Amino acid sequence: MKYQARVWKFGDNINTDLILPVQAFYLTPAEQAQWVFRANRPGWSEQVQAGDILVGGRNFGMGSSRPAARSLKNLGLSCLVAQSINGLFFRNCVNFAFPAMECVDAFATFEEGDIAEVDFDAATVKNITRGTALEAIPLPPKLLDLLKAGGIYALLEKEGAIGPKTAASG
């Protein structure tokens, strides 16, 4: 899995309340995506282009277990690279097949608008704009396979453990 696109940066301790605010809870998953970061960056979700990459600081995704990772994916972001990722949020990233990887120096290496190349198989992060490359923390092979399968829900559906996804379940 390799992605190359424009970078958006968000700093340390980004809370799931900022990613998916309570006002959006009862909206469809597609509508929820339009609320991402509305409190701290109004209008940002309208600027995101399909495939853009999110670069975060320390403890990205702290807070509740709300499906904020799904909203980032539904907004069209291709992946997340952060200095560190909250464990519960990381698991939600895997569940919803939103690729996320830790890379200690990523936040300091990018400016917003730079072009990044993120290779999950090789566990590398490159700043194409500035010509720098970093090693990331590799994902365990089973988690990487789970992401490639489309997340836990797609895998369980394929195995017959759960019913097919409906428009309401998003």
Determine the pLDDT at residue 154: 83
Q: Does pLDDT of 170 surpass 60? A: no
| Amino acid type, 133 | A
Domains of the chain: 2-158 (3.20.19.10)
Residues linked to residue 124 through DSSP beta bridges, in sequence order: 119, 135
pLDDT, averaged across the chain:
91
Three-state DSSP string of 30-81: HHHHCCCCCCCCCCHHHHCCCCCEEEECCCECECCCCCHHHHHHHHCCCEEE
Write out the H or E segment, with its range, that includes residue 152: helix 152-158
- How far CA 43 is from CA of 35, 62, 110, in Å, comes to 9, 23, 22
Q: What is the pLDDT of residues 7-63, one digit of tens each?
A: 999 999 999 999 988 888 888 888 888 999 998 899 999 999 999 999 999 999 998
Percent of the chain scoring above 70 in pLDDT? 96
Least confident among 94-98, 130-134, 163-167 = 163-167
DSSP code, position 22: G
- pTM for the structure as a whole: 0.88
d(Cα 30, Cα 141) in Å, to the nearest integer? Answer: 30
